[in-house]
Amino acid sequence: MTDTQALVKTLDFQLDVQSNNESLLKDATRRARSAYNETIRLAKEGVDWDTIPGRVAADVDLVRNTTQRVVAKALDAMENYYEYDDFGRPSHTKDGTYPLRANYEEGYNLTLTEDGDVAFRISAKPYKHVKGVLCGDSAHYDILKTALTSDDWKIGTAEVLFQNENPELHVTVTNTEQTVRDKLDSRTVIGVDVNEDNVALTALFEDDVEDTLVIDFPEIKFERHRYFTMRKRVQNAGKDSIHATLEGREKRFVRDRLHKVSRYIVEWSRQFDKPCIVFEDLKEMRDSIDYGTRMNRRLHHLPFRTLQYYTSYKASFEGIPTGWIDPYKTSQRCPMCGHAERVNRNKKRFKCRSCGHQDHSDRSASVNIAVKGIMKHQDWNVPGLNSLPQVRKVRRQASGAVDAPTVTHDAMRGHQTDGIVGVSN
């Protein structure tokens, strides 16, 4: 049995702009910032949200579709603010550029040239277009060319933005015909436990644990704290103009690391027979967090859902299904005897107070997630575990500087990979 679902991927390209129209594009992104700020300001004043798009459109010289998309993104930010109990209130005083959002064939167009390039036309302002060709990663280029010529693909909303003063286009493409194997047709369940500084994986093959792995990425936690400290200092010094630059660098750093880790998770999962990747459903996690101001800030900003999303859509492109389970007591339950108490876990050390079993606490949680995945998504008998394999770890090497490259080697497999280092415990 197969399950067909829409697969969405964002493709990143640099813009080779013709006729020195880059200044026109940059001015449009500044006007997009004005539209965003005005939307947030009006929403804070309690203006009816249905009337905001019309009021903002009258004040900015942008294409109507682009204005609507920018306003919608700003209102999404306000909605998230209210959803998370007034956490992370958007600012309406930021300056600088802001991404132009546009629908395909309304605010921007893409065409294949005779030379095999992809040409773009972006409506920066009414009746003023910016033209050129896309440059970028060959894999993204191949997917985009396929999307332009195949009926199975749909090109959607794109964003024009500036990264380090260079213009980029981020295009969303959807494949509505990609087939993903049904969860019930799986033979291996991969339990994934996402934490503040690592992700633990366990592959449960019908009646036994096939393999386990812990991927450490402490630099994400370190860099987030470092950038938080820098932003506070520049804010106290009255240099708010630097705030957005630091925030952008932090987001790019975290996004890059999460993409590398999620890619590694999928590659590791592919080695098993008919895998199904299972996550904890953490959507309501923020509602239960109340550990004081400093700890709440750290935990609210953890990229749990982002890493799960990146892993899920990368797995889908490989035909690997994903599932979700209730996280209740996955970190406290003993995978051997089932005893569950909070005192079983102390930081990275798990010791069952009932049977005496000791383990790496995150690996233990990933075993429980895999077991719950079997109970929810499979028709197998839940295995009775007698032993677990030795914990193996891989870790990311922190580069320090956000935009600096990271050179690493995979000691586990004996060949170079994308920023992962193998370590055995």
Mean pLDDT on 218-225: 76
225 vs 329: which has the higher pLDDT: 329
Question: Is the pLDDT assigned to residue 3 strictly greater than 60?
Answer: no
Q: Strand 275-280 to strand 188-194: parallel, antiparallel, or no bridges (unpaired)?
A: parallel
Q: How many residues would you count in the chain?
A: 425
pLDDT at 412: 31
**How is residue 63 annotated by DSSP?**
-
Mean pLDDT on 161-176: 90
Mean pLDDT on 184-202: 91
Q: Please state which of the ranges 126-140, 345-359, 389-403 shows the lowest mean pLDDT.
A: 389-403
Residue with tokens 């800030």: 297
**What percentage of residues in the chain have a pLDDT greater than 90?**
39
User: Could you please report the per-residue DSSP string of 155-211?
Assistant: EEEEEEEEETTEEEEEEEEEETT-EEE-GGG-SEEEEEEE-SSEEEEEEEETTEEEE
* pLDDT tens readout for residues 352-361: 999 999 999 9
Element (H, E) at 38: helix 22-44
299 Cβ contact list (under 8 Å, min separation 6) = 196, 286, 289, 291
Nearest to 289 by CA among 304, 277, 276, 279: 304
402 vs 39: which has the higher pLDDT: 39
* pLDDT tens readout for residues 315-342: 888 889 999 999 888 989 998 888 988 8
pLDDT at 408: 31
Structure tokens, 269: 């999962």
Question: Is the pLDDT assigned to residue 175 strictly greater than 50?
Answer: yes
Cβ-count burial 119-130 (b if 16+ within 10 Å, e if not): bbebbbbeeeeb
Mean pLDDT on 84-113: 86
pLDDT at 284: 57
> What predicted TM-score, i.e. pTM, was given to this entire model?
0.61
C-beta atoms surrounding 4 within 10 Å: 10
Structure tokens, 33: 């910032």
* Residue 220 near residue 358, CB atoms below 8 Å: no
With cut-offs at 50, 70 and 90, classify the pLDDT of residue 396: low
Give the HSE-up count for residue 120: Cα atoms under 13 Å, Cβ half-sphere.
29
Structure tokens, 225: 């704290």
- Considering 324-328, 380-384, 415-419, the range whose residues carry the highest mean pLDDT is 324-328
pLDDT at 85: 57
Q: Please state which of the ranges 10-19, 24-33, 265-274, 384-393 shows the lowest mean pLDDT.
A: 384-393
Question: Is the pLDDT assigned to residue 415 strictly greater than 70?
Answer: no
Residue with tokens 């998770």: 265
Q: What is the distance between the alpha carbons of residues 297 and 177, in angstroms, rounded to a whole number?
A: 41
C-beta atoms surrounding 157 within 10 Å: 19
pLDDT at 275: 94
pLDDT at 244: 65
The C-alpha angle with vertex 74 and arms to 286 and 71, in degrees rounded to 5, equals: 150
180 vs 201: which has the higher pLDDT: 201
306 Cβ contact list (under 8 Å, min separation 6) = 254, 255, 258
pLDDT at 411: 29
Question: Is the pLDDT assigned to residue 298 strictly greater than 80?
Answer: no
Domains in the chain (CATH in brackets) are 2-175 (no CATH), 180-424 (3.30.420.10)
With cut-offs at 50, 70 and 90, classify the pLDDT of residue 38: very high
End-to-end alpha carbon distance in the chain: 40
With cut-offs at 50, 70 and 90, classify the pLDDT of residue 407: very low
Mean pLDDT, rounded, of the chain: 81
Strand-pairing partners, residue 130, are 122
Q: What is the distance between the alpha carbons of residues 26 and 37, in angstroms, rounded to a whole number?
A: 17
pLDDT at 156: 93
Strand-pairing partners, residue 360, are 349
pLDDT at 410: 35
